[in-house]
Amino acid sequence: MRAHHIMSRRVLTIRSEAPVADAVELMLEHHISGLPVVDAVGNLVGILCESDFLRRSEIGTEHERNRLLSMLLGRERVASEFVKEHGRKVEQVMTRQPVATNEQAPLDEVADIMERRHLNHIPVMRNDRIVGIITRSDFLSAVAGPLTGTSGYSGSDNHLRRSVLAALARTRWQPIGLNVSVKDGAVTLRGVIRGESAHRAVVVTCENVPGVQRVDDRLCVQSTQPDPEDDYGGGDFASLQMEPSTLDDEPL
C-alpha cells in the first residue's frame, strides 16, 4: 500500500499569520489534532499540533527558569520557549519545517518515519502542494478492513495444513518436531519450542494463514537458557517440510 491509499484527502489548513485563537477554535470544532500551516501562496511552512499547547501561559504550564538554568540553556533557547508559550500568532507557536511525504510513498516508509520521529501527523505532498494528511488513526482504519473482513477460504483441511506448514517454514522460530493437524479449519500444534515470545509468534503465524478458524496450542515451551552442555541452546531445528505427520493427526 502507498500513502494515498490511507491518507485523508480533505485537509484543513490555516495561514501562518492567523491568530492562535482561530487555530484552536478550528481544531476543536473539527476534532483534529494536527493543523498544517501554509503561507500566502499555499506552501507548507509548519504544522500546529496538540503538543504545541502543552506549555502555555494561559494555563500556567510555561517553563519557569531560574537565572542559572537560563544561563546554562542559553538565551536563544529560553527566548524561543517564551515566544512559543506566549505567542498570539500561529507562526509563533507552530512547529516549523514539518516532516512530509509524497502520495506515492510506500506505507511502510511512512510508518517508519512516524515511528522514528515520534510523529502523530504527516502531511502528504504533490510537488509543493498539500494533497492529504496521514494520522495514526488512518493506520487504525486501514488495519480494520483486513481484520474484520472474511477470508473467503473454502479449501480442504489438507490444503490448509500445507499452507500452515509453509507459513511456519518461512519463520525463524520453528518448533522442534512440529506436528500439525487440521480439522474443519481448526489447527492443532504439537512440538517443542524455546522461549515464550517464539511460542506466541508461532500461534500468531498460524492465525494469520487464510482459512484458519482457530489454533489449539499444545506446544511445549522450554526455557531460553541453554543447558551447560549445549552450545547456544543445542540442536538444529527440524525441517517443517520434511516433518512427518504423527498418529495424533486427524485424517485429512
Count other Cβ atoms within 10 Å, centred on residue 252.
14
> Is 192 within 8 Å of 177 (Cβ atoms)?
yes
Residue 128 pLDDT exceeds 80: yes
Q: Measure CA of the first residue to CA of the last residue in the chain; give whole Å.
A: 36
pLDDT, one tens digit per residue, over 143-197 is 886 676 555 566 789 999 999 999 999 988 878 888 999 999 999 999 999 899 9
Q: What is the pLDDT of residue 186?
A: 93
Question: With 50 as the cut, is the pLDDT of residue 116 above it?
Answer: yes
Are residues 70 and 78 in contact, defined by beta-carbon separation less than 8 angstroms?
Answer: yes
How do residues 16-36 score in pLDDT, each as one tens digit? 999 999 999 999 999 999 999
% of the chain exceeding 90 in pLDDT: 58
H helices of the chain, where? 3-6, 20-29, 67-73, 75-86, 90-93, 107-117, 136-148, 157-169, 196-207
- Asked if 213 and 185 touch (Cβ cutoff 8 Å), the reply is yes
Q: Is the pLDDT of residue 82 over 50?
A: yes
Question: For the whole model, what pTM was predicted?
Answer: 0.65
Q: Is 122 helix (H, G, I), strand (E, B) or coil?
A: strand
**What is residue 114's predicted lDDT score, i.e. its pLDDT?**
95
- Of residues 96 and 245, more confidently modeled: 96
- Residue 138: HSE in the Cβ half-sphere, 13 Å Cα cutoff: 26
Residue 115 CA to residue 99 CA, distance in Å, equals 12
HSE (CB half, 13 Å, CA atoms) of 234?
8
Q: Average pLDDT, stretch 201-221?
A: 92
* Mean pLDDT on 232-243: 45
Q: How many CA atoms lie within 13 A of 157 on its CB side?
A: 15
Least confident residue range of 24-33, 111-120, 219-228: 219-228
Average pLDDT over residues 218-242: 59
> Mind listing the pLDDT tens digit for each residue in 38-65?
999 999 999 999 999 998 989 989 867 7
Is the pLDDT score of 239 beyond 60?
A: no
The Cα 201–Cα 203 span in angstroms is 5
Which residues, 6 or more positions from 144, have their beta carbon under 8 angstroms from its beta carbon?
none
Percent of the chain with pLDDT over 70: 83
Distance (Å, rounded) from C-alpha 239 to C-alpha 185?
A: 23
CA-only gyration radius of the chain, Å: 27
Q: What angle do CA 114, 120, 126 make, to 5 degrees?
A: 70
Q: pLDDT grade, residue 231 (50/70/90)?
A: very low
